[in-house]
Chain A
Amino acid sequence: SQQGEEDPQALSIQEGENATMNCSYKTSINNLQWYRQNSGRGLVHLILIRSNEREKHSGRLRVTLDTSKKSSSLLITASRAADTASYFCATDTTGGGNKLTFGTGTQLKVEL
């Protein structure tokens, strides 16, 4: 079953614009993670935010977490064509024994 639902399912923007993806989940979590997947490849970890954190930055990435709303957002600033990929949120649920449950993903296309 899918713990996370991502929104939008697909996003197309111009290079240089910002991209925002949202993730909602259902149960309490230890942390929430964002991963990227290029076509035909495995997933690559981008950033982890703990349940007691509200915002985290890594380079051009900014992640927010609102545990009261059970939601998170990933912002990619100044996007590049190379950012074209699918982005997934994953939750490490409380009592889940550090297993990760992935959302449905957002397909991002950055056009030149």
Chain B
Amino acid sequence: DAGVIQSPRHEVTEMGQEVTLRCKPISGHNSLFWYRQTMMRGLELLIYFNNNVPIDDSGMPEDRFSAKMPNASFSTLKIQPSEPRDSAVYFCASSPGGRNTEAFFGQGTRLTVV
């Protein structure tokens, strides 16, 4: 397996534009996580899914953020409209689910909003 695949790796966009980040989890994994990493706030959990269903989105900062998982092999994180303070590295991770399982991270998307 190629691991968790995120696209794009880098994104530069202007304030106010819509941004869509994509993630392909490892085949067979039941849990998917979206994290945001910044110097100021560290690694924050935004939302996670079990079996394609959003379980906890309490980390989503604002209504401008939305995430979907239409099937077991694809998830998106959308920011509309984007703002400069959204600049960060966004990570997607997947795990087999269940107790005592590790998470596998993608390489991240570095988002810069100018």
The segment out of B14-22, B62-70, B91-99 that lies at the interface is B91-99
State how many angstroms separate the Cβ of B4 from the closest Cβ of chain A.
8
B: residues with CB less than 8 A from A are 4, 31, 33, 35, 42-43, 45, 48, 50, 55-56, 91, 93, 95, 97-108
- Give Cα distance in the complex from A103 to B44, angstroms: 9
- Give Cα distance in the complex from A90 to B37, angstroms: 14
- Give Cα distance in the complex from A98 to B33, angstroms: 10
Q: When the two chains form their complex, are residues B56 and A97 in contact, meaning their CB atoms are under 8 A apart?
A: yes
Q: Which of A24-74 contact B (CB under 8 A)?
A: 30-31, 33, 35, 41-45, 48, 50
How many A-B pairs have beta carbons closer than 8 Å: the answer is 62
Q: When the two chains form their complex, are residues A48 and B102 in contact, meaning their CB atoms are under 8 A apart?
A: yes
- Give Cα distance in the complex from A50 to B102, angstroms: 12
State how many angstroms separate the Cβ of B106 from the closest Cβ of chain A.
6
- Determine which of A45, A48, A101 lies in contact with B104 in the assembled complex, contact meaning CB atoms within 8 Å: A45
Q: Across the two chains, which residue of chain A brings its CB closest to B105?
A: A42
| A99 contact set on B, CB distance < 8 A | 33, 45, 48, 55-56
| A101 contact set on B, CB distance < 8 A | 45
> Residue A100 at the B interface, CB < 8 A?
yes
State how many angstroms separate the Cβ of B28 from the closest Cβ of chain A.
15
State how many angstroms separate the Cβ of B101 from the closest Cβ of chain A.
7
State how many angstroms separate the Cβ of B109 from the closest Cβ of chain A.
11
Q: Across the two chains, which residue of chain B brings its CB closest to A30?
A: B99
- Give Cα distance in the complex from A2 to B49, angstroms: 20
| A102 contact set on B, CB distance < 8 A | 35, 42-43, 45
| B99 contact set on A, CB distance < 8 A | 30-31, 92, 98
| B106 contact set on A, CB distance < 8 A | 42
